Structure 1
Amino acid sequence: MKKILEVKDLQISFDTYAGKVQAIRNVSFDLNEGETLAIVGESGSGKSVTTRSIMKLLSSNANIENGQILFNGEDLVNKTEKEMQKIRGKEIAMIFQDPMTSLDPTMPIGKQVAESLLIHTELTKKEAMASALRLLEMVGIPNAEERLNHYPHQFSGGQRQRIVIAIALICNPQIIIADEPTTALDVTIQAQILELLKDIQLKIKSSIIFITHDLGVVANIADRVAVMYGGKIIEVGTSEEIFYNPQHPYTWGLLGSMPTLEGGEERLYAIPGSPPDLLNPPKGDAFYPRNDFALKIDKELQPPFFEVSPTHKAATWLLAPQAPKVTPPAEIQRRWDKFRNDQQAAKVAATEKEEPTVVDIATARQKMA
């Protein structure tokens, strides 16, 4: 499979009044053609900064201190702003979290969708508007032709997010970066947007980088998952490997904190403590103070990546040959089991109905009980 994007040893800092924040610390990953890579982690772990650096949309106080971002073999780090303007929107597009801050409230949505075509191609205004109409219909905007001249405030939240997706897709980009695009939506609309992204990816054969703090969101959309903590990637593997055989204690905690369909009065697991202060990055493993299974070496030395399989690796000293064998806490293990049952229920629902809803999945779980 061809690699379309390679990020190598990326280091990014921010100059602040308090000092230099080491936001991204030697991050490396790659993205294959037609693949969906999910980058997950708590707020402040470095997910958005990493992906915004691909678009070179960092704030003025940001410094890319080291590393390469190779897109089709060309290093984006060395590109000028003028060169990046030719890439943004045309070859790499971004879907932001809040559609109301992405859309121009003074411009009809038809013009906003067509704008990238007018900038990056030689299409006429009429041809660009015709393409915008087709795409708005494809992303599910009802009565799209009548609504081309409507303004963002005249659409619902879910419809606005679909419009933002249409803007990102209009030039058939090779890479789509989706920065928590479903966070502000209710669970039903969230599921619809995820299905829409999967469907459109198949049609235009784009690669997707999906950023989220919620592992449950990407369970059925991601091919591979990279887990970030403290400005570093600490575990990466296929979706199945991360959900069914996680190795890093931080990944255990993320999985344990996911709600399940059963709900009930059981309290969600919460990872104790707070993320590290990246003004003064820790000498050893950044997760050391919050890790119930931390070893003495964690305080002094950052762990390297240990290979679990050819596609799965994790940066934790617990995988070292001489480390003691530990298992996740029972409360986390119970929640994993429930989550896996939910996934199985979703598969059952999918066999019974072409487009299962959240309600279908809950019903299927009752049948399995």
Structure 2
Amino acid sequence: MKKVLEVNDLEISFDTYAGKVRAIRNVSFDLHEGETLAIVGESGSGKSVTTRTIMRLLASNANIDSGQILFEGEDIVKKSEREMQAIRGKDIAMIFQDPMTSLDPTMTIGKQVAESLIIHNKISKKEALDEALKLLELVGIPDAKKRLKNYPHQFSGGQRQRIVIAIALICNPKILIADEPTTALDVTIQAQILELLKEIQAKINSSIIFITHDLGVVANVADRVAVMYGGRIVEIGTAEEIFYNPQHPYTWGLLGSMPTMDAENDRLYAIPGSPPDLLKPPKGDAFYPRNEFALKIDAEEAPPFFEVSPTHKAATWLLAPQAPAVTPPKEIEIRWKKFRAKHASA
């Protein structure tokens, strides 16, 4: 498959009163045409910062210290703000987490969906509104023609999220970044939105980067999964490899903490400790203080990536040839089996 995006050795920091926060450290991944890549991890792991950097939507105190973001062979990092304005919304679009804050309360829905098309494709207002109507119908807004002149507050939460998706899709972007787009929605609406994204992706062959902390969402939408911790990717592979053959202890913990809801006394596994302080990044493996299987070298040296298969690699010293054989705790393995069984039948 053709690569539409390559991120190489990305390093991002933030200047704060307390000092420099090294938020993203040596992150690399690629995205293929028509693929859905999920990036998962706890809050603060660097998921949203990484994807906002692709859009060049970072805060004023952020620094791209090094690295490349290649889109169609050109480095986004080197582009001016004026050049990025021609890419944002047209070639790379983003669905944000909270639809209410993503929509302008003073503008009608029709104008908001059509706006990007008018700016990027230089077409008339009438043509743009006609296209906006088609897309609102596609994303499932009832009586879309009548509701073009409605305002955001006149729609439900699920409908607002559909409108945000329509705004992101109006120019048929090559890359769609979805930053936890279903977090604020109830389970039924969440399932509808995920199904909608899959249907639209099949129609326009867009590539999706899906940001989430919910592995249940990942199981339903992702082709590949990148697991982030402490500003780094610690494991990456196909969704099947991550769910059926995870190799990093942090991935074990994430999978073990997923609820299965099939037993009254079913206790969740909790990863001990807290994420690292990125004002003072650890010398060795960032997960070392929370890793019950940590080796002595973890405190001294950050692990490289070890290849599990051509599509699967993990940054853990447990995969080094000289490392002792370690298996996940039984309580985690039992939970995986329940979780996989649930999603296999879904």
Quote how far apart the aligned CAs of 1:268 are.
Answer: 1.2
Q: Does 1:337 align with 2:332?
A: no
- In structure 1, the partner of 2:95 is 95
1:185-221 residue CA offsets vs partner (Å, 9 max, x unmatched): 1111111111000000000110000000111111021
In the alignment, the residues of structure 2 paired with residue 263 and residue 110 of structure 1 have an alpha-carbon distance, to the nearest angstrom, of: 47
Q: Does 1:191 align with 2:187?
A: no
In the alignment, the residues of structure 1 paired with residue 210 and residue 55 of structure 2 have an alpha-carbon distance, to the nearest angstrom, of: 14
Secondary structure of 2:345 counterpart: helix
- Superposed, 1:48-127 pairs within 5 Å as 48-127=48-127
Structure 1, 174-183 or 211-220: larger mean CA deviation: 211-220
Letter in 1 for 2:67: G
In the alignment, the residues of structure 2 paired with residue 234 and residue 46 of structure 1 have an alpha-carbon distance, to the nearest angstrom, of: 12
Secondary structure of 1:197 counterpart: helix
Q: Where does structure 2 lack aligned partners over 5 or more consecutive residues?
A: none
In the alignment, the residues of structure 2 paired with residue 46 and residue 337 of structure 1 have an alpha-carbon distance, to the nearest angstrom, of: 29
- In structure 1, the partner of 2:214 is 214
Secondary structure of 1:237 counterpart: strand
Secondary structure of 1:220 counterpart: helix
Report if aligned partners of 1:248, 1:314 keep a CA contact under 8 Å in 2: yes
- In structure 2, the partner of 1:23 is 23
In the alignment, the residues of structure 1 paired with residue 108 and residue 137 of structure 2 have an alpha-carbon distance, to the nearest angstrom, of: 16
Quote how far apart the aligned CAs of 1:263 are.
Answer: 5.1
Quote how far apart the aligned CAs of 1:261 are.
Answer: 4.3
1:290-330 residue CA offsets vs partner (Å, 9 max, x unmatched): 00000000000000000000000000000001101111111
Q: Where does structure 1 lack aligned partners over 5 or more consecutive residues?
A: 347-369
Letter in 1 for 2:233: I
- In structure 2, the partner of 1:148 is 148
Identity of aligned residues (%): 82
In the alignment, the residues of structure 2 paired with residue 108 and residue 241 of structure 1 have an alpha-carbon distance, to the nearest angstrom, of: 45
Secondary structure of 1:219 counterpart: helix
Report if aligned partners of 1:89, 1:116 keep a CA contact under 8 Å in 2: yes
In the alignment, the residues of structure 2 paired with residue 62 and residue 169 of structure 1 have an alpha-carbon distance, to the nearest angstrom, of: 28
- In structure 1, the partner of 2:246 is 246
1:270-296 residue CA offsets vs partner (Å, 9 max, x unmatched): 111000000000000000000000000
Q: Which runs of 4+ in 1 moved over 6 A?
A: none
- In structure 2, the partner of 1:7 is 7
Secondary structure of 2:235 counterpart: strand
In the alignment, the residues of structure 2 paired with residue 167 and residue 218 of structure 1 have an alpha-carbon distance, to the nearest angstrom, of: 23
Q: Does 1:255 align with 2:255?
A: yes
Letter in 1 for 2:330: A
- In structure 1, the partner of 2:137 is 137
- Normalising by structure 2, we get a TM-score of 0.99
Quote how far apart the aligned CAs of 1:123 are.
Answer: 1.4
Report if aligned partners of 1:261, 1:342 keep a CA contact under 8 Å in 2: no
